[in-house]
Amino acid sequence: MVILLQITLLSGYTTKFMKRRGFLKLLLTILGSIALILAGYPTLRFFSPAKKKAKTERLVLSKAELLRDNVKEVTFDNTPAIVINVPGKGLIALSRVCTHLGCLVSYEEERNILLCPCHAGIYDLEGNVISGPPPLPLPNYPLSIEGDKVIIG
């Protein structure tokens, strides 16, 4: 407020009081500006999201179940993901978040593809873009097999 008034009055109305109180004005302007800048940082931080620890940093799934169903939708690292048994390649874990505008892709059994319902982006089962607007392939998650367990992450 101090600064706003200062700006409004910058070019006019100097009185003997302004001269006499120049120091106080300067001090208030500097202190006011510092206070505003200092308030800016917590404000900015307040509106930025708090750091959330991922609920699932390491996801353990049953290998037998995955091989039987071929496709399973899961949540990994707070993100919807999909684990697919790709013929000839084995199990692959992909993010379901479409790289175009963030809708979730789903497995289309008839065409054996991953389809984004929003703008018809089509990915193959390894996450590569086949057609449509997505600019990038779907992100891949590290997957390992230990005995009868499948571990993502």
Partner 1 sequence: MARIRNWIETRIGLDEIVKSQLTEYRVPPNVNIFYALGFVAIVGFIIQIITGFFLLVHYIPHHEHAFRSVQDIMNRVNFGWFFRLIHVVGSNLLVAVAFIHMLSVFFMGSYKKPRELTWISGILILFMTLAFCLSGYLLPWSQLSYWATTIVTTMPTAIPVAGDFITRILRGGQSVSGSTLTMFFAFHVGFIPFLTLIFIGVHIFLVRRTGISSPPFGPSGKTLNSPDSFEHDSHPGGYPFYPYFFMKDAMMVMVYLAVMFFIIAFMPMLFLPETTNSPADPYETPAHIKPEWYFLAPYQMLKIIPNKILGISLQGIIVALFLFWPLLDVKEERDTLKRPFLLSVFILLLLTWIALTLWGHYS
Q: In what order do the strands lie in the sheet with 79-86?
A: 71-76, 79-86, 90-95, 140-141
| Nearer of residues 18 and 67 to partner 1, judged by Cβ | 18
Instruction: Tell which one of 4, 30, 33, 46 touches partner 1 (CB under 8 A).
Output: 46
What whole-number distance in Å separates Cα of residue 122 and Cα of residue 119? 9
4 binding partner 1? (CB under 8 A): no
Q: Which is nearer to partner 1, 31 or 136 (CB)?
A: 31
* CA 3/CA 62 separation, integer angstroms: 64
**Window 17 to 36, contacts with partner 1 (CB under 8 A):** 17-18, 21, 24-25, 28, 31-32, 35
Helix (H, G, I), strand (E, B) or coil at 71: strand
136 Cβ partners below 8 Å, 6+ apart?
99, 129
Q: Which of 4, 37, 42, 109 binds partner 1 (CB under 8 A)?
A: 42
Give contact residues for partner 1 (rule: CB under 8 A). 1-2, 5, 8-9, 11-13, 15, 17-18, 21, 24-25, 28, 31-32, 35, 42-43, 45-48, 50
